[in-house]
Amino acid sequence: MTGFDKRRAQTLERMAAAGETCALMSKSGLNTEIFSGGGTGTYNIDHETPGFTDVQVGSYVFMDTQYLSIGGKTNVDEYSDFQSSLTILTTVVNDQYEGRVTTDAGAKACTINQPWPMVKGESGFEYRSGSDEFGSLTYVNPSRTYQVGDKLDLIVSHCDPVVNLYDQIYAVRNERVEAIWRIAGRGMSR
Protein backbone atom coordinates (compact mmCIF):
# COMPACT_ATOMS: atom_id res chain seq x y z
CA MET A 1 0.00 0.00 0.00
CA THR A 2 1.38 3.37 -1.02
CA GLY A 3 1.66 6.09 1.62
CA PHE A 4 2.76 5.51 5.21
CA ASP A 5 -0.23 7.11 6.97
CA LYS A 6 -2.72 5.18 4.83
CA ARG A 7 -0.75 1.94 5.30
CA ARG A 8 -0.58 2.48 9.06
CA ALA A 9 -4.32 3.17 9.38
CA GLN A 10 -5.30 0.13 7.33
CA THR A 11 -2.77 -2.15 9.03
CA LEU A 12 -4.00 -1.25 12.51
CA GLU A 13 -7.63 -1.58 11.43
CA ARG A 14 -7.07 -4.99 9.85
CA MET A 15 -4.97 -6.28 12.75
CA ALA A 16 -7.53 -5.24 15.40
CA ALA A 17 -9.53 -8.47 15.04
CA ALA A 18 -6.34 -10.56 15.33
CA GLY A 19 -5.37 -8.61 18.45
CA GLU A 20 -8.81 -9.22 19.98
CA THR A 21 -8.59 -12.92 19.13
CA CYS A 22 -5.13 -13.13 20.74
CA ALA A 23 -6.49 -11.49 23.91
CA LEU A 24 -9.45 -13.91 24.04
CA MET A 25 -7.14 -16.89 23.52
CA SER A 26 -4.87 -15.68 26.30
CA LYS A 27 -7.83 -15.06 28.62
CA SER A 28 -9.07 -18.62 28.02
CA GLY A 29 -5.68 -20.04 29.01
CA LEU A 30 -4.31 -20.86 25.55
CA ASN A 31 -0.62 -20.26 24.89
CA THR A 32 -0.23 -16.89 23.18
CA GLU A 33 3.49 -16.54 23.69
CA ILE A 34 3.95 -15.88 19.97
CA PHE A 35 1.59 -13.57 18.04
CA SER A 36 3.20 -13.20 14.64
CA GLY A 37 2.40 -11.48 11.36
CA GLY A 38 3.03 -8.34 9.37
CA GLY A 39 6.04 -7.81 7.17
CA THR A 40 8.64 -5.49 5.71
CA GLY A 41 6.16 -2.78 4.72
CA THR A 42 4.63 -2.64 8.19
CA TYR A 43 7.56 -3.55 10.46
CA ASN A 44 7.39 -0.14 12.14
CA ILE A 45 3.59 -0.29 12.55
CA ASP A 46 2.85 -3.87 13.66
CA HIS A 47 4.13 -3.39 17.23
CA GLU A 48 1.19 -1.01 17.84
CA THR A 49 -1.21 -3.98 17.78
CA PRO A 50 -1.74 -5.15 21.39
CA GLY A 51 -0.14 -8.53 22.09
CA PHE A 52 1.97 -8.59 18.93
CA THR A 53 5.33 -10.30 19.59
CA ASP A 54 6.89 -11.17 16.22
CA VAL A 55 7.12 -9.41 12.85
CA GLN A 56 7.46 -11.58 9.74
CA VAL A 57 9.81 -9.40 7.72
CA GLY A 58 12.01 -10.77 4.99
CA SER A 59 12.10 -8.59 1.89
CA TYR A 60 13.91 -5.81 3.77
CA VAL A 61 17.16 -7.70 3.26
CA PHE A 62 16.83 -7.12 -0.52
CA MET A 63 14.47 -4.11 -0.90
CA ASP A 64 13.02 -4.36 -4.39
CA THR A 65 11.33 -1.62 -6.44
CA GLN A 66 7.88 -2.69 -5.23
CA TYR A 67 8.86 -1.79 -1.68
CA LEU A 68 10.84 1.28 -2.69
CA SER A 69 7.74 2.70 -4.39
CA ILE A 70 5.37 2.51 -1.39
CA GLY A 71 6.79 5.52 0.44
CA GLY A 72 8.07 5.57 3.98
CA LYS A 73 7.38 7.30 7.26
CA THR A 74 9.98 9.99 6.63
CA ASN A 75 10.08 9.97 2.81
CA VAL A 76 6.70 9.95 1.06
CA ASP A 77 8.25 9.23 -2.35
CA GLU A 78 10.55 6.35 -1.44
CA TYR A 79 10.59 3.69 1.25
CA SER A 80 14.18 4.34 2.25
CA ASP A 81 14.31 2.60 5.63
CA PHE A 82 16.53 -0.13 4.13
CA GLN A 83 18.98 -0.10 1.22
CA SER A 84 18.57 -2.19 -1.92
CA SER A 85 20.97 -5.09 -2.03
CA LEU A 86 19.59 -7.47 -4.68
CA THR A 87 20.56 -6.44 -8.19
CA ILE A 88 20.86 -8.06 -11.57
CA LEU A 89 23.96 -7.26 -13.58
CA THR A 90 22.96 -6.60 -17.18
CA THR A 91 24.98 -5.69 -20.25
CA VAL A 92 24.09 -3.25 -23.03
CA VAL A 93 23.84 -5.26 -26.27
CA ASN A 94 22.44 -2.59 -28.62
CA ASP A 95 22.88 1.19 -28.62
CA GLN A 96 21.69 2.16 -32.12
CA TYR A 97 18.86 4.49 -30.98
CA GLU A 98 19.42 7.82 -29.24
CA GLY A 99 18.12 7.79 -25.67
CA ARG A 100 17.50 4.04 -25.64
CA VAL A 101 19.57 0.90 -25.29
CA THR A 102 18.79 -2.79 -25.25
CA THR A 103 20.22 -5.04 -22.53
CA ASP A 104 20.45 -8.79 -22.04
CA ALA A 105 18.04 -8.85 -19.04
CA GLY A 106 14.43 -9.39 -20.08
CA ALA A 107 11.41 -11.00 -18.43
CA LYS A 108 13.26 -14.29 -17.84
CA ALA A 109 15.91 -12.42 -15.84
CA CYS A 110 13.74 -9.83 -14.09
CA THR A 111 10.16 -11.23 -14.06
CA ILE A 112 7.23 -9.19 -15.36
CA ASN A 113 6.29 -7.77 -11.96
CA GLN A 114 5.85 -4.05 -11.71
CA PRO A 115 6.98 -1.47 -11.02
CA TRP A 116 9.77 -2.37 -13.40
CA PRO A 117 13.39 -2.72 -12.29
CA MET A 118 15.37 0.46 -11.65
CA VAL A 119 18.94 1.24 -12.63
CA LYS A 120 20.83 1.46 -9.34
CA GLY A 121 22.23 4.89 -8.63
CA GLU A 122 20.52 6.53 -11.62
CA SER A 123 17.42 8.65 -12.10
CA GLY A 124 15.55 9.71 -15.21
CA PHE A 125 15.58 6.17 -16.59
CA GLU A 126 12.83 3.74 -17.41
CA TYR A 127 13.61 0.04 -17.69
CA ARG A 128 11.19 -2.46 -19.21
CA SER A 129 11.43 -6.10 -20.06
CA GLY A 130 11.18 -5.72 -23.82
CA SER A 131 10.87 -9.48 -24.35
CA ASP A 132 11.78 -12.71 -22.60
CA GLU A 133 15.50 -12.24 -23.25
CA PHE A 134 15.99 -8.49 -23.66
CA GLY A 135 15.32 -5.35 -21.67
CA SER A 136 14.84 -1.81 -22.94
CA LEU A 137 16.28 1.16 -21.08
CA THR A 138 15.18 4.65 -22.09
CA TYR A 139 16.74 7.74 -20.61
CA VAL A 140 16.05 11.44 -20.88
CA ASN A 141 19.42 12.90 -19.86
CA PRO A 142 21.14 13.77 -23.16
CA SER A 143 24.55 14.07 -21.47
CA ARG A 144 24.39 10.40 -20.46
CA THR A 145 24.98 7.73 -23.08
CA TYR A 146 25.54 4.01 -22.94
CA GLN A 147 27.43 1.83 -25.37
CA VAL A 148 27.47 -1.86 -26.21
CA GLY A 149 29.32 -3.68 -23.44
CA ASP A 150 28.44 -1.22 -20.65
CA LYS A 151 27.22 -2.90 -17.46
CA LEU A 152 24.25 -1.75 -15.36
CA ASP A 153 22.98 -2.89 -11.97
CA LEU A 154 19.21 -3.29 -11.92
CA ILE A 155 17.31 -3.18 -8.64
CA VAL A 156 14.83 -6.02 -9.07
CA SER A 157 11.10 -5.37 -9.26
CA HIS A 158 10.04 -8.14 -6.86
CA CYS A 159 12.65 -10.13 -4.95
CA ASP A 160 10.57 -13.25 -4.24
CA PRO A 161 10.21 -14.57 -7.81
CA VAL A 162 13.58 -13.21 -8.99
CA VAL A 163 15.77 -15.14 -6.55
CA ASN A 164 14.29 -18.43 -7.75
CA LEU A 165 15.39 -17.60 -11.33
CA TYR A 166 19.08 -17.95 -10.52
CA ASP A 167 21.42 -20.75 -9.49
CA GLN A 168 23.49 -18.54 -7.19
CA ILE A 169 23.85 -15.11 -5.64
CA TYR A 170 27.18 -13.32 -5.58
CA ALA A 171 27.62 -11.60 -2.21
CA VAL A 172 29.59 -8.44 -2.89
CA ARG A 173 31.08 -5.99 -0.39
CA ASN A 174 33.17 -2.98 -1.44
CA GLU A 175 33.05 -4.16 -5.06
CA ARG A 176 34.62 -7.51 -4.14
CA VAL A 177 32.91 -10.92 -4.25
CA GLU A 178 33.07 -12.29 -0.69
CA ALA A 179 30.88 -15.36 -1.15
CA ILE A 180 28.79 -17.25 -3.67
CA TRP A 181 25.51 -18.58 -2.25
CA ARG A 182 23.75 -21.43 -3.99
CA ILE A 183 19.98 -20.96 -4.32
CA ALA A 184 18.62 -24.09 -2.62
CA GLY A 185 15.09 -23.52 -3.97
CA ARG A 186 16.22 -23.18 -7.59
CA GLY A 187 14.09 -25.39 -9.83
CA MET A 188 11.96 -26.60 -6.90
CA SER A 189 8.71 -24.88 -7.99
CA ARG A 190 6.44 -27.74 -9.01
For the ranges 17-21, 31-35, 185-189, the lowest mean pLDDT is seen at 185-189
Q: What confidence score (pLDDT) does residue 145 get?
A: 78
Q: Cβ distance 154 to 107 under 8 Å?
A: no
pLDDT confidence bin for 187, thresholds 50/70/90: confident
Question: 7: helix, coil or strand?
Answer: helix
Q: Which domains does the chain possess?
A: 4-57 (no CATH), 87-182 (2.40.37.20)
Query: What mean pLDDT do residues 169-173 have?
Result: 94
Contacts of 20 (CB under 8 A, 6+ apart): none
Query: What mean pLDDT do residues 132-140 have?
Result: 90
pLDDT tens-digit readout, 26-79: 999 999 999 999 999 999 999 999 999 999 998 999 999 999 999 999 999 899
pLDDT tens-digit readout, 77-97: 899 999 999 999 999 999 999
Which of 137, 41, 124, 146 minimizes the C-alpha distance to 88? 137
Which of 105, 146, 109, 104 minimizes the C-alpha distance to 125? 146
| Distance (Å, whole) CA 116 – CA 130 | 11
Query: What mean pLDDT do residues 94-107 have?
Result: 93
Q: What confidence score (pLDDT) does residue 106 get?
A: 93
Q: What confidence score (pLDDT) does residue 85 get?
A: 93
Residues 51-80 as b or e (16 or more Cβ within 10 Å = b): ebeebeeebbebbbbbbbebbbeeeeeebe
